[in-house]
Amino acid sequence: MSVVSIISAERERYTAHFEAIVAGIVSSGSSHARELLISINNEAIPYPYRYLRVDLIEKAADGSNQLSEVWLDPPHNFEATVFSLARLGSKFTLSHGAQPK
């Protein structure tokens, strides 16, 4: 199992989860936007730190804006895999869903 395959599989899992949430919002007929980049109106915060990317923004029934961040819990069958980058003198661990045997 390679680092790229683990990251690709987790990206696909997150994307499917995100799209399912968006589909639910779309089916409810609610006005929304995805991955909206917001600039905090404060010059004291230097560029690029004054920018915030919101996963979803939705118009609530009362007319207020609801900001959401989409989170996905680790798979119930997750495993940790340690990869060593000997030439760089570092090691890292990725948690991922176990592959069927």
**How far, in Å, CA of 53 to CA of 66, rounded?**
14
CA distances from 47 to 35, 50, 69 (A): 19, 6, 22
Structure confidence at residue 95 (pLDDT): 65
Is 89 within a domain?
no
Sign, CA dihedral 50-55-59-60, equals negative
77 lies in some domain: no
Q: 52 near 21, Cβ under 8 Å?
A: no
Structural domain of residue 67, as residue ranges? 3-72
Q: Pick out the chain residues at pLDDT < 70.
A: 1, 86-89, 91-92, 94-101
Number of domains observed in the structure of the chain: 1
Reported pTM: 0.68
Domain assignment of residue 83, yes or no: no
pLDDT, tens only, 14-28: 999 999 999 988 888
Does residue 88 form part of some domain? Answer: no
